[in-house]
Amino acid sequence: IDEENGTKIVGISEPAQLIRSGMNSYGISLNCSTLLSYKDVRGVTIPTNFIRRRIIKATNFDEEKKVIAGFHPCVSLNYVITSAKDQDAIVYATTNRGIITQGNDILADPAIDRFVTEDKHHQRHFRGQRLQYLLQKKQGEITKEYLQECLRDHYGYPASVCNHAGDEGLQTIAS
């Protein structure tokens, strides 16, 4: 997309939707997940697809922060917004219940679970449960360093949050 102000945008979208995830020529990137939760509510708010477009049109990190500060969604979602210029990131998550965690699986109510079977290493959604446990221990006091510590967690290896078993020579982002 070439905006009238000169911003160039590359993104991913579904049919009949605005961009869900992408980046722009100012070094702003947006990665989104809309999550399913029984805690979602009906309400009046700006639709998330319009918010995503506002974020991806931003020319700097402060603009992104203003968009997120005024956003009060009624549905569960998470956004990871980054700025190459500012070398900074915003992780915005809401589930209408506090902390949400995602560790290549989403901790969900069994009533809406996707029937993922147990494997030989762990029971369903172990990584998400472990991440939720670690983050809830410091709810309200989570720092960048603590988040990195959580992502390096090897409890329950090889099915741990930091899961790089079998990835010859590869590391997770927090290793």
32-63 pLDDT, tens digit each:
887 767 777 888 888 888 888 899 999 988 89
- pTM (global) more than 0.75: no
When pLDDT is cut at 50, 70 and 90, the band that residue 168 belongs to is low
Encode pLDDT of 102-160 as tens digits: 544 444 444 444 444 455 544 555 677 778 788 888 888 888 888 888 888 888 776 67
Question: Would you say 49 and 11 are in contact if contact means Cβ atoms under 8 Å apart?
Answer: no
Q: How far is CA 28 from CA 71, 78, 87, 139, in A?
A: 18, 16, 10, 28
Residue 69 pLDDT level (bands cut at 50, 70, 90): confident
Cβ within 8 Å of residue 4, ≥6 positions away? none
Q: State residue 106's pLDDT score.
A: 44
**Sorting pLDDT into bands at 50, 70 and 90, what band is 85?**
confident
Contact 40, 65 (CB under 8 A): no
Cβ distance 79 to 32 under 8 Å?
yes
